[in-house]
Structure 1
Amino acid sequence: MTSLTGARVLVTGGAGLIGAAIARHVRASGGAPIVLDDLSGYDAVTYQALGLDPDLVVGDINDESLMGRLTRMSDFVVHAAAFSTVAGCTRDPDQAFQSNLSGTHQVLRAAAREQVKRLIFISSAQVYGHGVQGLDQVQHFVEDQPMSPLNPYAAAKLWGESHTRHLLDAAGVDYTIVRPFSVYGERQIPKPGAWSWVVAQFCMYATLGQPLPLNNSGRQVRDFVHVDDAAEGICRALVAPRAGGATINIGSGRTTSILQVAELVRDHLPDTAFQAAPRPLHDPLGGCADIARMTEVLGWQPAITVADGVDRYLNWLRETPEAIPVWLPGERDRVSAWNSGVTP
């Protein structure tokens, strides 16, 4: 575990899946997290089920005065706050702009003014789009390949990468850009109209006795990385000497098919049925991260397998059944939603 003894780390979006895991990791590593979130990601009932950081500051990253005060108290900044679903950004571009562009600008300005030791900008593997080989080939995503964002969320993340470089290079402030792949794990709760987060969705469907929809027979592959591993990698990037100025994939470097995820869930809940469904519009076959730079720069690789991660999620769900959203049991035709013509 990376030592952050005595370090004060501002984590924006600290009530979200990745932000909360980072805050826990900072605390376990001897640091002091300063957790900021506006609590817009879920309703109050869901946050009660999740539990909130005892040191949470409720506020908006667009609040210039607040950002200045919190950044002044911090040695490092991890910018995890985002309006973070593809479908949500498509439906509400105004909110997406405020959170993902305007908010990022305010965070970067504060980091530049207060001369923090390093800022981590959490981007996304979404910036790669379908990759260089197209929809029907398994991809190997390398940090320096051409970017091709396919939706407003991905485009905002790519803009955020560029804006981080421009503002912080000019201010002489160190930074690292990380691109997490398919992050999953305990405390991940699906949102209406969101088409990702398959581990959480499949575990919840199976718990409710609903079938698991396998589009294209579940042949699509993803690079799943457990949120605790992702948090460790990001915290290592805070202090790794060679991470300064670098752009780094955060992934396992391995592909896991959606069918494999479904089978892992069924291993725990043998009565689970699978539902065949056609391939959604524009759904890529998928791929995995090239982790050569991550391994070399951070001296680290993820340790939690997908099998262990599914086991952990189902155990958490048994202990926290109230985490299943009230709308999800009534959602009987996910396949039609996925094939409605909206790109995931």
Structure 2
Amino acid sequence: MLITGGAGLIGAALRRTLESAGASVTVLDDLSGYDRATLALLGVDERDPRLAVGDICDEDLVRALVGDSDYVVHSAAFSTVAGCTRDLEAAFHSNIAGTETVLRAVAQTRNVRRFAFISSAQVYGHGTSGTDAVQVFSEDQPISPLNLYAAAKAWGEWQTRFLLEPAKVDHVVVRPFSVYGEGQIPKPGAYSWVIAQFAMYAMIGDPLPLNNGGRQVRDFLHVEDAAAAICLALVAETASGKTINLGTGRITSVRRVAELVRTHFLDAQFQDAPRPAQDPLGGCAEIARMTDALGWEPQVTVDTGIARYVQWLRAVPAAIPDWLRGESDRIASWNAGAAAHTTAEHR
């Protein structure tokens, strides 16, 4: 089988899960997500015979790899919101042109038994209740992406159906919620990776910034659970043709994440930070379709998942990126700006 983006967090976990079950897995990745030192830290070996280092827009390469695969998981993406906004060309190349290349190759073969498109819960945007309500996101509700990354994922969902249904290729779309776990290394602008960021802040002695007092809530899904669910989505007959949320169905506040991190770093301090513009309070996944279609529920609790991440981080402290060490300056500037705004209001 083939996993595009298989050197990423979800793709790498999926490969491990599949290989532990006896599957033969090929990975296609251009290894642009991190520098070589970080990739080596994450266990990515460019000499791996099952790793094809290449571009998902390379039609000949993609067609050859798909032609040798009975299952295809398309996980490759330019995957940060801020990154997509900064580099429109790279975002289009990976998230639109690359997805089109993979889908066309799959549609033109007769050997692919099922294709899985890894979408994102970001397609829901603010949901149906607005930015100031905690809500449950259902696959049947309208989607309303708020940024280029989410819009590309929404387009990919539709394009999967438009190209593969006429070709009679079985397919499934999955929408992971906030995936985290060992091996996750934040990138600038990837603010949904709060568990990794908070653990790293605590490790280096920086305060944990609580935007809006940490009242935002998320549905945190451990990467091993995400991988297990995707594996089941590839083979479960009841998943065929469906769009399926991947989440726990439970909400966890950002403040609760900070509190759990502080149980491992007793000196960790919290620091108030303003609520980012249009940042929704959030919510959790409606998981009835997931449990019905896959006959499965997540196994790793947030408490356990954070403990495992902290243990991993302590074993590999070099995983903390240099850019993150300067985040305390940004927090200070936020608070200075907020104080100035408050002073102006009271003049």
User: CA separation of 1:76/1:185 partners in 2, compared to 1, >3 Å: closer, same or farther?
Assistant: same
Match of 2:294 among 293, 298, 323: 298
Which string of whole-angstrom CA distances, capped at 9 and with x for unpartnered residues, describes residues 65-95 of structure 1? 0001111111000000000001101111111
Q: State the 1:276 CA deviation.
A: 1.1
RMSD: 1.4
Aligned pairs (5 A) from 1:170-319: 170-319=166-315
Q: Which amino acid aligns with 1:32?
A: S
Q: Which amino acid aligns with 2:282?
A: G
> Do the aligned partners of 1:221 and 1:255 also contact (CA within 8 Å) in 2?
yes
> Do the aligned partners of 2:219 and 2:247 also contact (CA within 8 Å) in 1?
yes
> Do the aligned partners of 1:223 and 1:251 also contact (CA within 8 Å) in 2?
yes
Partner of 1:151: 147
Match of 2:40 among 26, 34, 48: 48
Match of 1:112 among 107, 110, 130: 107
Partner of 1:3: none
Match of 1:127 among 119, 123, 128: 123
The reply on whether 1:62 has 2:57 as its aligned counterpart is yes
Q: State the 1:249 CA deviation.
A: 0.2
Q: State the 1:48 CA deviation.
A: 1.5
Partner of 2:342: none
Q: State the 1:112 CA deviation.
A: 1.0
Which string of whole-angstrom CA distances, capped at 9 and with x for unpartnered residues, describes residues 45-68 of structure 1? 111111116322101110000001
User: CA separation of 1:50/1:337 partners in 2, compared to 1, >3 Å: closer, same or farther?
Assistant: farther
Flag the structure with larger Rg. 2
Q: State the 1:333 CA deviation.
A: 2.8
Q: Which amino acid aligns with 1:46?
A: T
Which string of whole-angstrom CA distances, capped at 9 and with x for unpartnered residues, describes residues 199-225 of structure 1? 000000000011000011111000000
Cα distance in structure 1, aligned partners of 2:78 and 2:333: 21
The reply on whether 1:80 has 2:72 as its aligned counterpart is no
Cα distance in structure 2, aligned partners of 1:117 and 1:91: 37
User: CA separation of 1:336/1:77 partners in 2, compared to 1, >3 Å: closer, same or farther?
Assistant: farther
Structure 2 gaps, min length 5? 338-347
SS state of the match for residue 145, structure 2?
Answer: coil
Match of 1:94 among 86, 89, 94: 89
Q: Which amino acid aligns with 1:304?
A: V
Q: Which amino acid aligns with 1:330?
A: G
Partner of 1:25: 17
Stretch moving more, 267-276 or 327-336: 327-336
Which string of whole-angstrom CA distances, capped at 9 and with x for unpartnered residues, describes residues 19-66 of structure 1? 101111110111111111001111111111111163221011100000
Cα distance in structure 2, aligned partners of 1:192 and 1:147: 26
Q: State the 1:195 CA deviation.
A: 2.0
Stretch moving more, 25-34 or 287-296: 25-34
Stretch moving more, 190-199 or 152-161: 190-199
Cα distance in structure 2, aligned partners of 1:84 and 1:211: 26
Cα distance in structure 1, aligned partners of 2:334 and 2:283: 20
Cα distance in structure 1, aligned partners of 2:262 and 2:2: 40
Q: State the 1:330 CA deviation.
A: 2.9
> Do the aligned partners of 2:274 and 2:334 also contact (CA within 8 Å) in 1?
no
Provide TM-score, normalisation by structure 2.
0.93
Q: Which amino acid aligns with 1:95?
A: A
Task: Report how many residues are paired.
Answer: 332
Q: State the 1:11 CA deviation.
A: 0.3
Q: State the 1:337 CA deviation.
A: 8.0
Which string of whole-angstrom CA distances, capped at 9 and with x for unpartnered residues, describes residues 251-271 of structure 1? 000000000000000001100
Q: State the 1:336 CA deviation.
A: 6.4
Structure 1 gaps, min length 5? 1-8
